[in-house]
Amino acid sequence: METTRSFVTIAAAPLIVGWAGLFAQPAHADQTYIATLSPLNSKVAGHHAEGDLRLTVSGDTVMIDLDAQGLPPGMMHMAHLHGYVSGKNSTCPTAGADTNHDGIIDLAETEPAAGVTMIPLNAVPADLSIASDSYPTASKDGRASYRQQVSLRALTLKMAGSFDGAAPDLAKRVIFVHGVDAASPLPKTVASLPGVPAQATLPIACGKLTEK
């Protein structure tokens, strides 16, 4: 009797494995989000900034790849993902965003279209620390590259705590690259962050993220 039970168990094993394989959940495929950057405030910047951003989500890992050109050379450029805490879809500002008619779209004027600054493209994006000296620096020919790996879980937790439960929602975000030469003359009407020169925060390129 024991021999018969053992034989039945052994014989059934391949069938069990087969059914288990049939109903196993497939692994989640990578998610990719891309943005093509177009210039903003190019007359002030004196350059035609453009580039590409790619975010690849694989399990708990988000790989961020930014390649930009046409930047004011030899200086660090802040770059961030902007968005709405409410989950509303962000867009890049149009010429109509220049509400004070000074010929410049400043950081404050981007907010109605794009939302607030959320995720910095610096050495530790998941910290959400905007003040940093580790943003990409443009070469002498105005090119900059940035590549950074981030924990999706860490980013999600930090965003939820910092933005009233908001999720990364990458397809609803835009990227801005900021910064013109510190000697660039700007009217006093150009708004910036408290204590930060307007030249450092002036948006010079924007791109809308979409899922590929």
DSSP 8-state symbol, 137: B
Helical H segments across the chain, by residue range: 2-23, 42-45, 107-114, 152-162, 198-201
Partners of 82 in the β-ladder: 117, 174
Taking the chain (212 residues) in runs of 10, the rounded mean pLDDT of each run is: 38 39 50 98 94 98 98 98 96 97 97 98 97 97 98 98 96 98 96 95 98 94
pTM for the full predicted model: 0.85
pLDDT at 52: 98
Q: What CATH number labels 27-211?
A: 2.60.40.200
pLDDT reported for residue 28: 61
User: For residues 70 and 141, what is the distance between their CA atoms, to the nearest angstrom?
Assistant: 8
Pairing of strands 144-151, 174-178: unpaired
Structure-block tokens of residue 81: 């993902």
Please state, in angstroms and as integers, the Cα–Cα distance from residue 38 to each residue in 22, 62, 144, following that order. Answer: 47, 23, 15
108: tokens are 């404050």
Confidence at residue 84, expressed as pLDDT on a 0 to 100 scale: 97
